[in-house]
Amino acid sequence: MLHVLGLDAGGTKTVALLADEAGNVLAEARGSGANLQTHGELEVEKVFHEVIEQLASLQRIEAVCLGIAGVDRPNDEAVILGILRRLGHRERAMVVNDAVVALVAGAPERFGIVVLAGTGSIAYGLDAKGRSARAGGYGYILADEGSGYWLGREALRAAVRGADGRGPKTLLIDLIFERLEIDSLAELVALVYEKGLEKDQVAALAPLVERARAEGDVASTEILAVAAHELALAARSVARQLSFASDPFPVVLAGGAFRACPTLHRLVDEALDLAGARTRLLTVEPARGAVTLALDLLKSSAA
């Protein structure tokens, strides 16, 4: 029996699944976030080493697929492949964008669109002719609208604007103070600019937007509406670049932002305005898509 490894590396966590050649998942390992731009090459290699070592000690691994953000850039892909080679995977190793493994995990049909909103955000699609397209995914300065980080940042901005009287008063300020264990705007400013509020810490504030919206908070309702609009825009951009004819096709909604803010599912569905689109929430680990692609790699190399 041969075995493969599927990994999904995000800004907050890394999940690795060991599976046999029939696709049965035998074991799982988890590690911290692994993003080249955020964590650096050495930290990424450390995370990969830890999760792979746990599973490689159980079975010999014949093929690996890794889904990670940013590998559309040739230099980043080369760096990641170099890491995998140093960890002993010189052959039968595949590196793809994390949106690709999320789409494969959520759409067994192997076509459709995925809207991935984790710490960052991206839309990616694949049509029945094998053509692919993407929109977004350029990092928190240039893009990432609707992501967990974006939601957390907008919550912070709305809280400050409300406290200043430049925006509507919002429940977010008390919720943020409670979550960050602070008591004043002065402490918030110091925490953000002097102590440095990390990206994952900002993204961890996203659930507060859903919580405040449920209590009728105007600012939070607007934040979620804008997030859904931006994510739907990305999906429509991908759809325009591909061909889905008039047949129904899946739009997979994946990532921590949808778990943090369940209302986003309905709002994105309403904002999509795409004929034939059928939204579905990804309920399994995206790493399952990486397992499927690793099995493809194993079969193609054996042919």
Question: 């932002």: which residue's tokens?
Answer: 257
Rounded to whole angstroms, how far apart are CA atoms 291 and 26?
Answer: 11
pLDDT per residue of the chain (303 residues) written in tens, 0 to 9? 899 999 999 888 999 999 999 999 999 999 998 888 778 889 999 999 999 999 988 889 999 999 998 777 778 888 998 999 898 887 789 999 999 999 999 999 899 999 999 999 999 999 999 999 999 999 889 999 999 999 999 999 999 999 999 999 999 999 999 999 999 999 999 999 998 898 889 999 999 999 999 999 999 999 999 999 999 999 999 999 999 877 899 999 999 999 999 999 999 999 999 999 999 999 999 999 999 999 999 988 776
CB-hemisphere CA count at 13 Å for 268? Answer: 33
Bridge partner list, 67: 8, 96
Nearest in space to 217 (alpha carbons), one of 269, 177, 161, 158: 158
The torsion angles phi and psi of 116, rounded to 5 degrees, stand at -105, 115
> According to the model, what pLDDT value does residue 77 have?
84
- Of 75, 66, 42, 56, give the one whose Cα is nearest residue 289: 66
Q: What is the DSSP string of 19-87?
A: EETT--EEEEEEEE---HHHH-HHHHHHHHHHHHHHHHTTS---EEEEEETTTTSHHHHHHHHHHHHHT
Largest CA distance in the chain: 67
d(CA 37, CA 60): 31
CB 217, CB 203: distance < 8 Å = no
Q: Which residues of 140-170 are buried (b: 16+ CB within 10 A; e: fewer)?
A: beebbbbbbbbbbbbbbebbbbbbeeebeeb
For CA atoms 38, 39, 45, 51, the dihedral sign is negative
Tell me the whole-structure pTM to 2 decimals: 0.92
Sorted by where each starts, the structural domains of the chain and their CATH numbers stand as 3-96+286-302 (3.30.420.40), 108-272 (3.30.420.40)
Tokens matching residue 138? 């350029």
Name which of 118, 18, 128 is nearest 68 in CA terms. Answer: 118
- Residue 58's CB: how many other CB atoms inside 10 A? 12
Instruction: Specify the pLDDT at position 256.
Output: 94
HSE-CB of 202 using CA atoms within 13 angstroms: 24
pLDDT at site 225: 98
Round to whole Å and give the CA distance between 132 and 129. Answer: 9
Residue 303's pLDDT is what?
63
